[in-house]
Amino acid sequence: MPVLSENLLFFILAGLTIFSGLMVILQSNPIFCALALAMTMISIAGIFASLGAWFVAGVQLIVYAGAVMVLFVMVLMLFDLKDEVRAFSRGIVSGFVKIASVGVIGGVVTAAIWMSAETVFPTTPSGLQVSATQSTKQLADLLFKKYIFSFEAMGALLLIIAIGAVALSRIQGGTHADR
C-alpha cells in the first residue's frame, strides 16, 4: 500500500514537472513561460520532499521558486516583450533546429524510460527513513566537512557572476550607464 501511494505521488509530481516544463517552451507569452518554470521548481521541490529530502525541498522553494523566479517574473513584467514572440517561429534554420530538437527529446525520453525502470518500480526496498533534522545534519556534515572547498568555490563563483553582472550593466550603453 505505501509503495503504491508513493509511486502515485511520484507519477503525479513527475507529470506536473514535465507538463510545466513543456509549457515553458511551448507558451509564446514570456510571463506564462516564467510562471510555468516556477511551477516546475515547485513540483521538483515536491519530488524532493517525497524522497525524504525535506531540507533540500524547502531550500528549493525558498531560493528558486521564491527568490530567483520572482525576480525573473518581475523583470519580464516590466518589459514589453512582443517582438520576442515571433523571433523564433519562422525560417529554414529554426525549422532544422526544431526537427533536431524533436529527435533529441525523443532519444532522451526513450533512454530515460529505458534506464529508470529500476528506479520507478524498485525490486528492493528503499533506504531507511531518517528524521528531517537528522538528514539536514548529515547534509551539513557533507557540505561543511567533506566538500567544503568545492562548496566555497561555488559561493565564490556566484559572487563573481553577481559582480560581473553589475559591472556589465554599468559600462557605457548598459541600462544603468553613467552618462
Partner 1 sequence: MGKDVFEVTVNILKMFVIFLMMVQAVPILVWLERRGSAFIQNRLGPNRIGPLGLLQLLADAVKFLFKQSFVPEKSVAPLYYFAPVMALIPGALAFNSIPLSIPINIQPFEMAGQTWGPYTFAFQGYDLGIGIVFILGISSLAVYGLMMAGWGSSNKYSLMGAVRATAQAISYELALSLSLVGILMVYGTFSFREIVDIQTGPLTFKAFGGEHIVSWLPNWGIFFQPLGALIFFAATFAEANRLPFDLPEAEGELVAGFHTEYAGFNLLLFYIGEYGHMMVASALLATFYFGGYSFPGLNPADVLTYMQSVTGGANSASILTAVVFHLVLLAKVAIFLWIFIHVRWTLPRFRYDHLMSLGWKTMLPWALANACFTAIWMWLGHR
**Shortest reach from residue 40's CB to partner 1, in Å:** 14
DSSP annotation string for the chain: -HHHHHHHHHHHHHHHHHHHHHHHHH-SSHHHHHHHHHHHHHHHHHHHHHTT-HHHHHHIIIIIIIIIHHHHHHHHHHS--SHHHHHTSSSHHHHHHHHHHHHHHHHHHHHHHHHSHHHHS-SSPPPPP--HHHHHHHHHHIIIIISHHHHHHHHHHHHHHHHHHHHHHHSTTSTT---
Q: Check binding of 77 to partner 1 (CB under 8 A).
A: yes
Q: Does 165 bind partner 1 (CB under 8 A)?
A: no
For position 65 contacting partner 1 by CB under 8 A, the verdict is yes
Dihedral over Cα of 97, 102, 107, 109: its sign: positive
Q: Does 71 bind partner 1 (CB under 8 A)?
A: yes
Q: Which stretch binds partner 1 (CB under 8 A): 11-19, 38-46, 94-102, 169-177?
A: 38-46
Task: Please identify which residue in 131, 138, 150, 169 interacts with partner 1, judged by CB under 8 A.
Answer: 131
Provide, rounded to whole angstroms, the least separation between the CB of residue 110 and partner 1.
Answer: 33
Out of 26, 31, 85, 162, name the contact with partner 1 by CB under 8 A.
31
Query: Which position among 33, 37, 38, 44 is part of the footprint of partner 1 (CB under 8 A)?
Result: 38
Lay out the site mask for partner 1 across 39-58 (x = CB under 8 A, - = otherwise): ---x--x--------xx-xx
Binding of partner 1 by 13 (CB under 8 A):
no
